[in-house]
Amino acid sequence: MQILKFILKNEFKCISSKTYMKNTILIIEDDKDTLDILSYLAEALQIQVIPRSDVLTLKEIEAIAPSLILLDHWINGKLGGSLCKAIKSNPATSHIPIAIISAHNDLGRIAKDCGADTYLNKPFDIDDLTALIEKYMLART
């Protein structure tokens, strides 16, 4: 993990010089390594991260009030798409952008069907993740 952090740190030298508002990303991902990497990359962009390895309730999401949610499609035997639909149907959380992340072959359709704003294929590219964060986080600054 130390080698990965060194590589990622060097990848982000020019990116992290941008000014990001101290917004919050809620990352819901049950694979610890993926959760750690997503968290590290967002933190390298000076964004507050709330990592979770299991599904949260709508009340918990309302209380966190994240600026963006990165949501795994399959979380400990539960479908992230079901949580996405619930978030998007709740007036208190429907405005929160959601990116579904998965290695599933039909992720675009899955994201559309559950009302996600976008999706990120695994394995993901650092540039794609950065572009996603810039699109949904910098737009709010």
Indicate the residue type of 74. Answer: W
- Per-residue pLDDT at 1: 47
Query: What does the alpha-carbon distance between residue 41 and residue 56 come to, in Å, rounded to a whole number?
Result: 22
Is residue 23 pLDDT above 90, yes or no? no
Pick the CATH number of 19-140 from 3.90.1300.10, 2.40.30.10, 3.40.50.2300, 3.40.50.300: 3.40.50.2300
Query: What does the alpha-carbon distance between residue 138 and residue 134 come to, in Å, rounded to a whole number?
Result: 5
Is residue 138 pLDDT above 80, yes or no? no
Residue with the bigger pLDDT between 105 and 3: it is: 105
- Per-residue pLDDT at 141: 52
Mean pLDDT (whole number) for 59-64 = 94
SS3 110: helix
Q: pLDDT tens digits, residue range 28-55? A: 999 999 999 999 999 988 899 999 999 9
Q: pLDDT tens digits, residue range 66-78? A: 999 999 999 988 8
- Per-residue pLDDT at 86: 96
Mean pLDDT (whole number) for 94-114 = 95
Query: What does the alpha-carbon distance between residue 78 and residue 75 come to, in Å, rounded to a whole number?
Result: 5
Q: Report the predicted TM-score, pTM, of the whole model to 2 decimal places.
A: 0.83
- Per-residue pLDDT at 140: 60
